[in-house]
Amino acid sequence: MLTEPKILIAEDEPVSRLVLQRLLKAFTCISVTNGQEALDVIHQEHIDLVLLDIHMPIMDGFEVIEKLKNDEATKNIPIIVITVNQSIEDEIRALDLGAVDFVTKPFHAVILQKRIRNQLALKLKSDLLEKHASLDGLTNLLNRRMFDFDLENRWAESQRLQANFGLIMFDIDHFKLYNDNYGHSAGDEVLVRVAKALMKTLQRKTDRVYRYGGEEFILIQFDTDFDQLRQTAELLRQCIYDLNITHDFSSHCRITISVGATLISAEQIQPIPLLLEITDQQLYKAKKQGRNCISSITT
């Protein structure tokens, strides 16, 4: 929750829904009338908090909680149950499934507001911690930890959807010579400039670039084809070349990158270590071919 918080109200009773909307007018709220609509919105929007009635048509609140908590993408969204049901058994069930609070109607408006604000504050802290844990401290790119996590999940998704899967691995040519001759502080500045250029160059919202380690970077391209993968690799290579950062100890007299790219076709089933090994081999070929170039393969 690093932007204005957004609250989802899932309530089928019109008067209760209107009361909650007025109570929360200081926030951005989306209202739905059943559990299935709630799930649809949550998978389309960035939702920071759910206010959930238990008894709704099509899908009840218990099933909504269970589905959200069993989904990696939504399990951390806090859910406050608001219901006329005062059953202790239902309260226990909701909390056991993962709801953070259980409020019975009629509720006290000020107390409910404070409970909501407390949960949003906790969500903000959690999001900030997660963001810092997932980013590289120098370049502000996603870090190796996030790459390992995303690679496993996106690869599994590509297998499930029978979608092509692309990896692009690249590193800065002769970077050790740059550090040795210009100093590590200057080298850090280069890494920051390279990272910013890479982020500006990405054209697909689904493409994610990571600092893999040292001067090496890697990009996951999901649901792509070989031409598109090659095009992305060339855009990355060209954008770094166009920075025109002087490197007198490089064969190209400026900062450049060498790029290895691999497309795994939808019907191929490969273990993750082999994907990385194949892509690393392509990067090595680009180095052997003179650097500041691309080597790619499709399997």
Could you list the active site residues?
215
Q: What would the two tokens of residue 239 be? A: 């954008």
Pairing mode, if any, of strands 165-172 and 257-264? antiparallel
